[in-house]
Amino acid sequence: MEGAHELEKELTETDVGSKLVVKARWLDKMPPFVGDCREVQFGVLDDKGFHFPLCCSIRNGRYPKPVIQAEGWLKFVNYKGLKVGDKIIFHPQVDYFRESIFQVRAQRKNIHGHWIDI
């Protein structure tokens, strides 16, 4: 279950193969989009302190349909060996030195059905 400030998602085929599709309510926790710009850069830190630069983009129109673009996201997916059904959790944690705004965790269900960090 999502904590008050955490953003989490079970990964789909699209998420592990091309881009991370997120809910529009995630935009409330992302850095602001400036002017007419449709993308914003930000960073995440994993549990080992590795920094991953990411880019969130939205489309024009009534429904923004935010996605985390492939370049940085797929580096994280490959680094963690993520699969469909795994879960990611973004926890707001600003680190000005590394220019990151989230700590990111990846989890997988074990044989007992409990989520464990990977």
- Secondary structure (3-state) at 106: strand
Architecture of domain 7-117: Beta Barrel (2.40)
pTM of the full structure: 0.87
Whether the pLDDT of residue 98 is over 70: the answer is no
Average pLDDT, rounded, for the chain? 89
> What pLDDT was estimated at residue 1?
41
Once rounded to an integer, what is the mean pLDDT over residues 39-63?
90
* pLDDT tens per residue across span 7-30: 999 999 999 999 999 999 888 888
Whether the pLDDT of residue 53 is over 90: the answer is yes
For the chain, the structural domain boundaries read: 7-117
